[in-house]
Amino acid sequence: AKSICGEERKLKNRSFTLMLFLTIVTLSFWPREAASKKHAANEPLLSCEFPLSLPDPRFNSPSKYLEIYRRDLNNETAFYPAAACLTHSGKVAAAEKLSKEASKDHPKWASPYFILAKTAEFALEDEQAIALYQRAVKLNPQWLQAGYDYAMALKAYENFKEAVTVAEAALKICDAYPEAKATHKYKHLLRRCKAESLYNLHDYNAAALEIMKEPADKRSQPVQKLLAQCYRERKQWPKLLSCTSSYLKSHPQDEDFRFFFFLAYSGSGQWQKAIDDLTMNLRLYDARKPKKLGLSELYDKREVRLLRAQLYDKLGKKDLAEKERAILNQQMGQTYKETIFRAKQ
């Protein structure tokens, strides 16, 4: 009986040991498997492995992020906030030193080269910054922030053709992962960068087509203005009128876009409508003008009156043209005297 009980205990102990072993093995492999499945499910988030927006360095000390990184020097997602926060808080030399150390220890990390590109920009070393951005994008092509900053650096350096290529590559990532958070943030920025580069390459049609991919209600004023400029360069006056009209419905006080009305009307030979639009511009200007105008404040108004005088000449209304120029000269003389008087005070 004792031997039987002893055997039962041994069997129970063996069973318990086996179950414990299987549990440990399962727990050791399950999180890794779950993490890999989660990573596969969130494949679009590969481009947002690093925070899209960092905490404001005025309220968050970089030391907190440095402490986290020092605990795990092999964690790139811990390195980036530490280095970026140093950069944002003005500690550029410290960020550069930290990034150089990380790039030596982990040459396949993209983020150290990205931070080094930022420090190079601070030092106005444009060519070096572009080379570092290029390396960061090569190591992590799906990091949209790096792709966007790389394209913008190329555009600023007036390498417009390469900027278009880089922006196109990043936009393909956006199209592949439409639900990624980085896509929502950077897609319209990349389109604007590409459109501006195409405009500078004088490919106005391609620039306009790129802008048109963005819904009209989501376009910013500079983007809508760029579209209008594309139509102006191609002398597509009906499209320019349509573009300007749709924008002014929601922004009626925007004088820049009212001036596109003048360009479209005068370009298509509708002189009277062009004069009417210039008159509306003068009324808007008078409604917001300061009590005392200086030379710089009067410049736009002077241009409008000169253009209106020229259009009166085209219509054969010489008397109105002369009247316009007389008012202009009188205002310019009075404003000049007032400006000199205030300057002496």
Is the model's pTM score more than 0.85? Answer: no
String of b and e for 258-283 (b: at least 16 CB within 10 Å)? bbbbbbbbbbeeebebbbebbebbee
Tally the residues of the chain: 345
Choose the weakest-confidence range: 14-18, 286-290, 293-297: 293-297
Choose the weakest-confidence range: 21-35, 61-75, 146-160, 243-257: 21-35
- What average pLDDT does the structure give for the chain? 77
High-pLDDT (> 70) share of the chain, % = 72
For residue 21, pLDDT over 50 is answered with no
For residue 305, pLDDT over 60 is answered with yes
| pLDDT value of residue 210 | 95
Structure tokens at 319: 């008397």
Rounded distance between C-alpha atoms, residue 122 and residue 196, angstroms: 24
For residue 207, pLDDT over 80 is answered with yes
| Structure-model confidence comparison of residues 40 and 268, the more confident one | 268
| pLDDT value of residue 220 | 87
| Structure-model confidence comparison of residues 297 and 274, the more confident one | 274
Query: Which residues are CB-neighbours of 159 under 8 A, at least 6 positions away?
Result: 130
Mean pLDDT highest for which of 15-19, 40-44, 178-182?
178-182
- Average pLDDT on 173-197 reads 90
For residue 299, pLDDT over 90 is answered with no
| pLDDT value of residue 13 | 56
In one-letter notation, the amino acid at residue 39 is H
| Structure-model confidence comparison of residues 327 and 335, the more confident one | 327
Choose the weakest-confidence range: 29-38, 48-57, 330-339: 29-38
User: pLDDT tens, 210-268?
Assistant: 999 988 888 888 999 999 999 999 999 999 998 888 888 877 777 667 788 888 888 88
Of residues 190, 162, 161, 163, the one with CA closest to residue 175? 190
Answer for the pair 136, 113: CB distance below 8 angstroms, yes or no.
Answer: yes
For residue 333, pLDDT over 80 is answered with no
| pLDDT value of residue 294 | 46
| Structure-model confidence comparison of residues 62 and 85, the more confident one | 85
Choose the weakest-confidence range: 140-149, 151-160, 329-338: 329-338
